[in-house]
């Protein structure tokens, strides 16, 4: 027979496990190609701590220059690339110093233990099951009371 204490304990442990599984995501590198006077993809969303690598796959020289002077690749000739690790959360617009109409955006979102939707659903379900179980147990205890 399961005691209510054991059920509450199991629920807590399961919740911690789910939280751990849905926490920090691994740092990765996102590639942005510079072709035909455009950044591809033009907009990229990354986690804080991820890296971006711009590669000039076109024939003409370009740059990746932050609007807010957070970074500047300098001249990237055909075939050259520039890597950058971003930790500052926010929306970071950038452009090409040679062709100001060439623009792009890097969105950096915070990386940390974030409740994913399914983690929340599992938690609420476990809470409901525990609640119903405790209610049934209490009812049955009241049922056998004789005095």
- Which is closer to Cu ion, CB of 11 or CB of 103? 103
**CB of residue 37 vs Cu ion: minimum separation in angstroms?**
6
Binding-site ranges for Cu ion (CB under 5 A): 62, 96, 98-99, 102
- Which is closer to Cu ion, CB of 71 or CB of 98? 98
- Which is closer to Cu ion, CB of 47 or CB of 64? 64
**CB of residue 101 vs Cu ion: minimum separation in angstroms?**
9
3-state secondary structure string, the chain? Answer: CCCHHHHHHHHHHHHHHHHHHCCCCCCCEEEEEEECCEEECCEEEEECCCEEEEEECCCCCECCEECCCCCECCCECCCCEEEEECCCCEEEEEECCCCCCCEEEEEEECCCCCCCHHHHHHHHHHHHHHHHHHHHHHHHHHHHCCC
- Which is closer to Cu ion, CB of 62 or CB of 92? 62
**CB of residue 51 vs Cu ion: minimum separation in angstroms?**
21
**CB of residue 76 vs Cu ion: minimum separation in angstroms?**
9
- Which is closer to Cu ion, CB of 30 or CB of 99? 99
- Indicate if the alpha-carbon torsion angle 57, 61, 67, 68 is positive or negative: positive
**CB of residue 123 vs Cu ion: minimum separation in angstroms?**
49
């Amino acid at each position: 027979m399961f005691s209510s204490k054991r059920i509450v304990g199991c629920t807590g442990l399961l919740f911690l496990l789910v939280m751990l599984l849905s926490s920090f995501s691994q740092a990765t590198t996102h590639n942005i190609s510079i072709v035909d006077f455009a950044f591809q993809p033009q907009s990229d969303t990354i986690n804080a701590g991820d890296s971006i690598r711009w590669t000039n796959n076109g024939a003409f020289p370009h740059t990746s220059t932050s609007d807010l002077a957070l970074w500047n690749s300098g001249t990237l000739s055909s075939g050259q690339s520039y890597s950058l690790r971003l930790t500052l959360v926010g929306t970071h617009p950038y452009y090409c110093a040679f062709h100001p109409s060439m623009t792009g955006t890097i969105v950096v979102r915070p990386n940390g233990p974030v409740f994913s939707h399914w983690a929340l659903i599992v938690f609420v379900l476990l809470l409901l099951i525990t609640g119903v179980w405790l209610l049934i147990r209490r009812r049955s205890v009241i049922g056998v009371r004789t005095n």
